[in-house]
Each structure stands twice: as structure tokens, then as C-alpha cells.
């Protein structure tokens, strides 16, 4: 079997290191072709080893992801800067494992126009839905149901959310992830971004995508079909599973995670989403319904607000407030890459004016 040559964007992050772990356990199938790393130590070299701070990093990343010897690109860079290399890889005919949902939130139409069934989700919910859809026809899908753990503040008194510290918010009850997605999970903005991600990935209208709170994070998501049948994918909350599925499709790799015995499942709860406690998914729906580039405004304002929360500058509920205010202040339109990037810049500038107003 020829080995698949994999480039990893974000090699020292949470998804990047777990991708390297999966590759190391399956060296008969995969080899590391290239690495784009942040500032953390990296214990290996590849044909391309690029540091994000290198002056020529941007050009070398584009060269790496479009190189004829590269088969598969894993996009796991946090945020908006993942968009350009992901689009370039898809345009060059590569298979892309996408962990950076922001790419689809910002520019879903543009990205899907280049995807041609080569885009594979590395997000546990979307991997679950993808797996439920294997062998099915899309026109028999009635509804997608995204599960949300509810994060660490599912039961916290609403009035106390304003005093939550970054350290508390970074302590996710089920999943071990990078800081951006962990804070997004605490506000449930993550689920808002995932609604938009699912809409683009699977071509299902937003009003047929639901969110249900499932604190155990055992059922990773569900698909309802037109005959009333419901399919779900279950497993341990371990990102190596969706990573392995994306790398090896249509094969399954042996022994990726410990299997979950049915007797271990215990009680699984499913609760409706409390929209007062968690307004973010509703806001994301509105942004998506308004069309491009509103989701890019939502995404950029959220990225800036999460960074400000982590620096201790705004309270947790301030994140969603500032995103809401950015969306109502924005007046632009357009869906080209330039227009999307312009909306992204606008929202970041807007944030720095608005942040002062929510910090007190
Ligand atoms: Mg997810």
C-alpha cells in the first residue's frame, strides 16, 4: 500500500499532536509530509517544517499544501488564518481533513464550491453525522441533530456567569481541547459555529438542523431520516477517533480508542437548549440566515472577544454581547474572498471600539 503523505497545519496544537499520534501508530499507511507549527516545541522534522513566525511562512505553507507529493492536508490552525491554505489545498485537488470550523463559517459557499467530496470533517459532531450518512441518500435526510455537552456552566446560576474566570471556563467537563474552542464551548458559540459548519458541509437547510444538550458527550450527533429512523454515532470523547476517520476513509483503523461497552453507557440525557442561558446558537442562526459575509462578522467578533476574555478584559457574557452588537452594526454585503476578509477586518476593528463598553 502506498503511504498517504500528510501535511498538518497547526502541528503543535491539540488536534495537530493527536494527528501525529494517529500517524505514528499507523506508519504503514501514513507519513508526515509537512508541518506548520506555532511557537511550542516540535520534536520532529519533515520535508516542510515551517514555523508560523518565519518571514516566508505564508508562501511556504501554500507551496506545501499544493505540492504534487502531498496527498492530504489536516487543517487545525485556530481561526481565520486557516482559510487561505485550506482553499489552496482544495483547489490543488488535495483531500482536506478540516478541524478549523471557522473556515466554513467564514466562507462556506467558497470552500464547498472547491470541495468536490474531498473535504472531511474533524469535528466530533460532524464526523458523527458524516458516518451516519455513509451509504445513505441526502434527499432522505429529514433533520440533523447536533449534540452539545453544555460546557462547564450548564447548571451555574445565570446571575453568576459574569464572574466566571478564564481558568474556570477552560476546565471543560468532557473534552480536552485548545483554549479557543473550550471557551466557545462554555458560551455555546461553538455550537453556533457548528450549526453553520453542518449547513455547509451537508447542504441541509438551517431550519432542519437542531441542537440538543447531551451532558455525557457519548452520542456525538444524530441524523433523522424521512422514514422516521434515527441514526447516531457513539464513542468515547476522544478526538483521535474523528481524526482517524478523516485520515483513513473509507477504511477504519484498528484500535484507535478503547471501545465503549454498552453496559458502560449508563444513563444518557438529552435536554432542550435553554436559549436564555445560551443565546449564541440563535445568534449564529441569524447571521447565517442573513447570508455572507455576516457569519464572517460573527466569527471575527467572537475570536477577538474570546481573546479579550482570556486576557481578563471582558466578562464571559460580554463575548456574546459584543458579537451581537457587531452583527447589528454591520452594514456590508458580499461573498467573495476579498469581501469576506474585509468583513473579518471590519469586525475586529469594531470589537476594539465596542469592547470598552462591555468591560465595566
Ligand atoms: Mg465539535
- Residues 155 and 220 reside in one and the same domain: yes
Q: What is the pTM of this model?
A: 0.95
pLDDT given at position 176: 76
Per-residue pLDDT tens for 228-262? Answer: 999 999 999 999 999 999 999 999 999 999 999 99
Beta strands in 14-118 (DSSP E): 30-37, 48-51, 72-75, 95-98
Distances (CA, A) of 187 to 101, 172, 282, 315: 16, 12, 12, 11
CATH of the domain at 21: 3.40.50.720
Residue 88 DSSP SS3:
helix
CA of 257 to the centre of ligand 1 (A): 18
Type and span of the H or E element at 4: strand 4-9
Q: Domain for residue 283, yes or no?
A: no
The span from the CA of 124 to the CA of 243, in Å, is 9
- Residues 267 and 307 reside in one and the same domain: no
CA of 60 to the centre of ligand 1 (A): 29
Number of domains in the chain: 3
CA of 152 to the centre of ligand 1 (A): 15
CA of 310 to the centre of ligand 1 (A): 20
What does R_g of the chain's alpha carbons equal in angstroms? 20
Q: Which residue range forms the structural domain that includes residue 342? A: 291-360
Per-residue pLDDT tens for 45-83? Answer: 999 999 999 999 999 999 999 999 999 999 999 888 899
Helix and strand numbers (H, E) in the chain are 13, 11
CA of 32 to the centre of ligand 1 (A): 25
Per-residue pLDDT tens for 191-238? Answer: 999 999 999 999 999 999 999 999 999 999 999 999 999 999 999 999
- Residues 184 and 136 reside in one and the same domain: yes
- Residues 198 and 81 reside in one and the same domain: no
CA of 55 to the centre of ligand 1 (A): 32
CA of 101 to the centre of ligand 1 (A): 9
Q: Domain for residue 126, yes or no?
A: no
CA of 194 to the centre of ligand 1 (A): 7
- Residues 135 and 265 reside in one and the same domain: yes
Domain boundary among 78, 98, 121: 121
CA of 123 to the centre of ligand 1 (A): 5
- Residues 10 and 103 reside in one and the same domain: yes
CA of 221 to the centre of ligand 1 (A): 10
- Residues 159 and 266 reside in one and the same domain: yes
- Residues 38 and 147 reside in one and the same domain: no
- Residues 33 and 58 reside in one and the same domain: yes
CA of 1 to the centre of ligand 1 (A): 32
Amino acid at each position: 500500500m502506498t503511504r498517504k503523505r500528510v501535511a498538518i497545519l497547526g502541528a503543535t496544537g491539540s488536534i495537530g499532536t493527536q494527528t501525529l499520534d494517529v500517524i505514528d501508530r499507523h506508519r504503514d499507511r501514513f507519513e508526515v509530509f509537512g508541518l506548520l507549527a506555532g511557537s511550542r516545541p516540535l520534536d520532529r522534522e519533515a520535508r516542510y517544517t515551517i514555523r508560523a513566525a518565519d518571514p516566508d511562512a505564508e508562501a511556504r505553507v501554500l507551496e506545501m499544501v499544493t505540492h504534487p507529493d502531498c496527498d492530504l492536508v489536516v487543517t487545525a490552525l485556530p481561526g481565520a488564518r486557516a482559510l487561505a491554505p485550506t482553499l489552496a489545498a482544495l483547489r490543488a485537488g488535495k483531500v482536506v481533513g478540516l478541524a478549523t470550523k471557522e473556515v466554513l463559517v467564514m466562507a462556506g459557499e467558497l470552500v464547498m464550491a472547491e470541495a468536490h467530496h474531498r473535504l472531511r470533517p474533524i469535528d466530533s459532531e460532524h464526523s458523527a453525522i458524516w458516518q451516519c450518512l455513509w451509504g445513505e441518500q441526502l434527499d432522505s435526510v429529514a433533520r440533523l441533530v447536533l449534540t452539545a455537552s453544555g460546557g462547564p456552566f450548564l447548571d451555574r446560576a445565570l446571575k453568576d456567569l459574569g464572574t466566571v474566570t478564564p481558568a474556570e471556563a477552560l476546565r471543560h467537563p468532557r473534552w480536552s481541547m485548545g483554549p479557543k474552542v473550550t471557551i466557545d464551548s462554555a458560551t455555546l458559540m461553538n455550537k453556533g459555529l457548528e450549526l453553520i459548519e453542518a449547513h455547509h458541509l451537508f447542504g441541509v437547510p438551517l431550519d432542519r438542523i437542531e441542537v440538543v444538550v447531551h451532558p455525557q458527550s457519548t452520542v456525538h450527533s444524530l441524523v433523522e431520516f424521512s422514514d422516521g429512523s434515527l441514526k447516531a454515532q457513539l464513542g468515547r470523547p476522544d478526538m483521535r477517533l474523528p481524526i482517524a476517520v478523516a485520515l483513513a476513509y473509507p477504511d477504519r483503523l484498528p484500535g484507535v480508542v478503547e471501545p465503549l461497552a454498552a453496559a458502560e453507557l449508563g444513563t444518557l440525557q438529552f435536554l432542550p437548549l435553554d436559549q436564555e442561558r445560551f443565546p449564541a446558537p440563535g445568534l449564529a442562526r441569524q447571521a447565517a440566515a442573513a447570508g455572507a459575509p455576516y457569519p464572517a462578522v460573527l466569527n471575527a467578533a467572537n475570536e477577538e472577544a474570546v481573546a479579550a476574555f482570556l486576557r481578563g478584559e471582558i466578562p464571559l457574557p460580554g463575548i456574546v454581547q459584543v458579537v451581537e452588537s457587531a452583527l447589528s452594526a454591520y452594514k456590508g454585503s458580499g461573498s467573495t474572498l476579498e469581501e469576506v476578509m474585509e468583513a473579518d477586518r471590519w469586525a475586529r476593528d469594531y470589537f476594539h471600539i465596542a469592547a470598552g463598553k462591555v468591560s465595566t
